Structure 1
């Protein structure tokens, strides 16, 4: 299905909307709307959800991923405003020689398909696009640019206007659709010193959007992303800037290191209840199954597949990394599936399920 057909344009092309149906076990989702411009900024697929991942860059001297599939083929992109479908008969892997793309291509071979979304993390003062960013933008994958935050009061007061304007111009200059996830996990107590309060965060968010609007940056979809856990004891919803300020609502949803075992449906439950009141597509931008789950990792991933087949969920991004682990013995914060045959197979099943392949990208057989 051509990606251009995955969004319906209304109100002079400024608002994309689509009616979400129901899937087995999922409640009715609201009609989905976004301020992003179809064909210019990322918009949700009409059916199903994009599949993406964060794959850390290769570390010199470290062991490299050994793909479970040896298939290779074309993954080149086009110059149009949205990623195009891969031609029949092609398969992921060719972009491995592009800057930053070797680990991504290896992960794609494990998954048996090309990613829809590749995530990239950038610091508040870091320049972008990076080499990886440019490689993704020049392919037929979406870039999910996760941009760190700064002191919200200083942003709202205008201290960083020049920096924000420079980043806005840089994104505009790419001419490609970009997911922008700014200051994720703003509800965590560990960042309270710079986030201050929900009101301060919202003021800073609006300042960014005002500058991007002034610079006429139309190729960005704004992704608001607290933690799923924040909808429990704390009030993550208080940080929501408003439907007119957000294109995608999002949550980071690792099971939590304080649980021996926890299904993804439990991790997402309170967030999904809150999200039903928003007419927005949902992105799960960081999810992963801990290595501490051992032989139950595959079981967890298969249950997660069912939980994520929700009509409002339009993008899922696996966190294929161990970087959050405190040390080599910390398996509760290690999520990479590399070397775990059963986990790779189960994640591959998720990735190649039609619901998570809305562009009908070619699927390769297991190796």
Structure 2
């Protein structure tokens, strides 16, 4: 149990740090705040309809976790009140019961040197849920130098032994400013990604769909695309997008990302993390969720959406708190607009990976 507590505590710390930095980019200057509270939700297009930009309907090249034939998978990261495996299972069960349905995807976070799977992960998989492993990665130049090859091979063998298809979100949000010293450059990140994926292939770990997931801010700033490893090395494109300190529609926040996806029509799109901050109040948050659902449906290349159901303890202030389940109105909105909408009812049907012996 001691090992479990430490592991999940690290998970919470990794998630909190990631969210804090992602959201700091969304902060507006003080002269943008007139003290009058949030403005009405702006329309995504002049006629009020969300933007239809990423409109590809396939066929998709997605690896072992195939997208649904239509609609979108729904998933979540749900922060447990108790940092134990039983607490994690209880948190997800409570979330699913409140929404009246199971999640197709359960997101979890791992350090670079941490084992991929624990008992709660196996329990989720046994329920028919697909796991998404958000794996932190390491210094890109040390990775490509071979410093971590044995560690990477251990993780690859662990994944192969797991036997079920998973979503592997290797070093998500690699474009964050606070990771620049570790990532070095887009070219270094691409080289590291390809190095890691090659080792997984050599070890016969072919049961992962590789998910590339920068921030929405990285696309707005124009620098996220330099981290793209290429269509031949990526299975799902992905973005993390929040209305934190800045209140704007999700379509506005991720328009540059959707334009990028439209140029890669063979790749299904995932919203790896999304949320609207507590600071905006119930009415504004509910409007944001309704618009988010409309935007997802207007862009059929989006085949998976994963909510960030958490108020990270290390992130101070309501601009960095996204939990919905403690607000009956918001929970009802999320349930009606997303969880119970037929567009989001598909469950993952990951096809088994072909068995391959590791290369000698």
Check if 1:308 corresponds to 2:335: no
3-state DSSP class of the match of 1:187? coil
3-state DSSP class of the match of 1:288? strand
**Residues 102-152 of structure 1 deviation map (CA, whole Å, 9 limit, x = unaligned):** 100000011111100000101111112023222222220110110002100
Check if 1:341 corresponds to 2:328: yes
> Runs of 4+ in structure 1 displaced over 3 angstroms?
97-100
Mapping of residues 1-367 of structure 1, within 5 Å: 26-27=52-53, 28-29=55-56, 31-34=58-61, 36=63, 41-59=64-82, 100-257=88-245, 259=246, 261-278=247-264, 279-295=266-282, 296-309=284-297, 310-323=299-312, 326-327=315-316, 330-349=317-336, 350-359=338-347
3-state DSSP class of the match of 2:304? strand
Check the 8 A contact 2:140/2:188 in 1, yes or no: yes
Q: 1:35 to 1:352 in 2, by over 3 A?
A: closer
**Residues 187-230 of structure 1 deviation map (CA, whole Å, 9 limit, x = unaligned):** 11110010000010000000111001001112100000000110
User: 1:325, CA displacement in angstroms?
Assistant: 5.7
User: 1:25, CA displacement in angstroms?
Assistant: 6.0
3-state DSSP class of the match of 1:253? strand
3-state DSSP class of the match of 2:108? strand
Separation in 2, partners of 1:48, 1:324: 34
Separation in 1, partners of 2:270, 2:60: 14
When the two chains are superposed, the root-mean-square deviation of aligned CA atoms in Å is 2.1
User: 1:263, CA displacement in angstroms?
Assistant: 1.2
Gaps of 5+ in 1: 1-22, 62-96, 362-367
3-state DSSP class of the match of 1:53? strand
3-state DSSP class of the match of 2:320? coil
TM-score where L is the length of structure 1: 0.77
Q: 1:43 to 1:298 in 2, by over 3 A?
A: same
User: 1:24, CA displacement in angstroms?
Assistant: 8.8
Q: 1:170 to 1:311 in 2, by over 3 A?
A: same
- 1:80 counterpart residue number: none
User: 1:359, CA displacement in angstroms?
Assistant: 3.9
User: 1:98, CA displacement in angstroms?
Assistant: 6.3
Check the 8 A contact 1:44/1:281 in 2, yes or no: yes
Moved more, 98-107 or 333-342: 98-107
Corresponding residue pairs, total: 296
- 1:16 counterpart residue number: none
Gaps of 5+ in 2: 1-48, 350-360
TM-score where L is the length of structure 2: 0.78
Separation in 1, partners of 2:281, 2:50: 29
Q: 1:25 to 1:190 in 2, by over 3 A?
A: closer
User: More relative contact order in 1 or in 2 (CA 8 Å, sep 6+)?
Assistant: 2
